[in-house]
Amino acid sequence: MALQITAVRDAQLLLDLPWSTPLEEWPESLLVPLPRGISRHVVRFVRLDGTVYAVKEVTERFAEREYRLLRDLQRLDVPSVEPVGVVGGRVGDDGEELMAALVTKHLQFSLPYRAVFSQTLRPDTGNRLLDALTALFVRLHLAGLYWGDCSLSNTLFRRDAGAFAAYLVDAETGELHDTLSRGQREMDIETARVNIIGELMDLQAGGLVDEDVDVVHLGNAIERRYMRLWDELTGEQTVDFDERYRINQRVERLNELGFDVGELQIVTDFDGATVHIQPKVVDAGHHSRRLLRLTGLDVEENQARRLLNDLDQYAVECDRQGESEEIVAHEWLLDVYEPVVQGIPPDLRGKLEPAQVFHEVLEHRWFLSEKARRDVGLDRALDSYIREVLPAKRDELAVMEIGDDFSSLLEPAVGAEAED
């Protein structure tokens, strides 16, 4: 049987891996020691030409199926790991047929949920984690994906300014449809609820969740969180005719949640006294798309929101509000953002993503300014951050300190940003 590689990229690099050896026997010299979640399959991380890949052994039929589905999710711009290829036709040195391998690109600065809970979990952190999973769940359903096995184990988490961002990492049981029925969505929610409760119980038994935390209540809350966000995004609303301003308020709320509205279906009743509106949400990533358009920076949604706020503040301070937004954004990029990112010493640049560093420098500036009772300026804040904060961060991994007070994606009021 001949080795067969189906790949969208880096196919020649994959040839260098020892495909005739079972994955669990690959030599340590090839492997990258990254934290792994719980999986039914053998998973290993390898570094090829400076890039880290995840390799998972699975039957060839399921490897091909998941590879195609992940490619579809990439085209739909759904938060998920990037598929690289499928390696089939593997035969061991003893002539025995080996399982196929699915290769994906490792999501930089991400952690499985068990690595997030490297210390005892506070209830507030668990809530924020579920907020991120809920937002991912809704985005998948809006795109028509029935996950089939939603769980913390099948998700990766990255830090996103003052919150978490969740990514689908295992699509083995997924099914993509034009739209999902209510029954399909409810079945997915129930599966998620049962899985999450089991995972939290396991963490609690291992001492990683405080004994006072009601993990059953926390897991059951996924349904309430999901329905609340789903109704906000898709639910019909009735307003009095003379309160039509509430239509704009609805759109602004959806934008604040990070979703764009493609169109509004507006129907008035027979006497014109009330108006019925129903939004058609077309995409998530409202702030990240705006920032990408203005600056070329491709970052997480909450990071984009924070950077845009600083851009707006820059326009005010420079009295540039009436000028072209694109020109002001370009100057902000050159005068503010890039000096901060490039000011990080080379040996510390693997700690956090550039956008996260910039967010944390802004937070540190606020903290120092509060303490000094005056604005200390960005240069002093950056110098202090490099000396006092950044060296303590974990290298090459997203920093997710347990117990941070993350603002909820689902709360109507935005809470305090996380502090170091």
| 189-234 tens-digit pLDDT | 999 999 999 988 888 887 777 777 788 988 898 898 888 888 887 7
Whether residue 292 is found in the same domain as residue 249:
no
Whether residue 220 is found in the same domain as residue 279:
no
pLDDT score recorded for residue 127: 72
Mean pLDDT of 265-279: 64
| CB count in 10 Å sphere of residue 78 | 21
- The residues, ordered by sequence, that sit 6+ positions from 343 with a Cβ below 8 Å of its Cβ are 382, 386
> Is 279 within the bounds of a domain?
yes
184 pLDDT above the threshold of 60? yes
In this predicted model, what pLDDT tens digit does every residue of 53-110 receive, in sequence order? 999 999 999 999 999 999 999 888 888 999 999 999 999 988 899 999 999 998 887 8
∠ CA(55), CA(61), CA(65), 5° rounding? Answer: 75
Mean pLDDT of 259-265: 61
| CB count in 10 Å sphere of residue 244 | 12
Whether residue 227 is found in the same domain as residue 242:
no
Domain of residue 40, CATH code: 3.30.200
Domain end (from 106, 141, 156): 106
- Decide: residue 2, CB within 10 A, 0-12 exposed, 13-18 middle, 19+ buried: exposed
- Cα 289 to its chain centre, rounded Å, is 15
Mean pLDDT of 340-348: 90
> Is 401 within the bounds of a domain?
no
Q: Tell me which of 262-271, 287-296, 363-372 is least confident.
A: 262-271
- Confidence band for 396, pLDDT divided at 50, 70 and 90: very low
Whether residue 42 is found in the same domain as residue 60:
yes
pLDDT score recorded for residue 176: 93
Whether residue 50 is found in the same domain as residue 136:
no
Whether residue 309 is found in the same domain as residue 374:
yes
Domain of residue 134, CATH code: 1.10.510.10
Share the mean pLDDT of the chain. 80
Q: How many domains does the chain have?
A: 4
pLDDT score recorded for residue 98: 93
Domain end (from 61, 85, 106): 106
- The residues, ordered by sequence, that sit 6+ positions from 205 with a Cβ below 8 Å of its Cβ are none
Whether residue 266 is found in the same domain as residue 360:
no
Whether residue 133 is found in the same domain as residue 152:
yes
> Is 210 within the bounds of a domain?
yes
- Confidence band for 245, pLDDT divided at 50, 70 and 90: low
> Is 118 within the bounds of a domain?
yes
Q: Which two tokens stand for residue 106?
A: 């490792």
In this predicted model, what pLDDT tens digit does every residue of 8-51 receive, in sequence order? 776 777 888 999 999 999 998 888 877 666 667 889 999 888 88
In this predicted model, what pLDDT tens digit does every residue of 104-148 receive, in sequence order? 998 887 878 877 665 545 556 667 778 888 888 988 998 899 999
Whether residue 148 is found in the same domain as residue 226:
yes
Highest mean pLDDT among 2-6, 139-143, 159-163, 314-318: 139-143
Q: How far apart are CA 351 and CA 393, in angstroms?
A: 6
Whether residue 339 is found in the same domain as residue 298:
yes
- Cα 185 to its chain centre, rounded Å, is 21
> Is 416 within the bounds of a domain?
no
pLDDT score recorded for residue 265: 64
Q: How far apart are CA 75 and CA 71, in angstroms?
A: 6
Q: Tell me which of 105-114, 123-132, 164-173, 336-345 is least confident.
A: 123-132
> Is 418 within the bounds of a domain?
no
Looking at the chain, the whole-number percentage of residues with pLDDT higher than 90 is 27
Whether residue 149 is found in the same domain as residue 164:
yes
Domain end (from 248, 268, 284): 284
> Is 307 within the bounds of a domain?
yes
Beta-sheet pairing, 43-48 with 4-7: unpaired
Strand-by-strand arrangement of the 155-160 sheet: 110-112, 155-160, 163-168
> Is 420 within the bounds of a domain?
no
pLDDT score recorded for residue 401: 35
pLDDT score recorded for residue 408: 33
- Confidence band for 320, pLDDT divided at 50, 70 and 90: confident
Which residues constitute the domain of residue 63? 4-106
Whether residue 117 is found in the same domain as residue 189:
yes
395 pLDDT above the threshold of 80? no
Q: How far apart are CA 259 and CA 253, in angstroms?
A: 9
Interhelix angle 378-388/354-372, nearest 10 degrees: 110
| CB count in 10 Å sphere of residue 38 | 13
Q: How far apart are CA 251 and CA 278, in angstroms?
A: 10
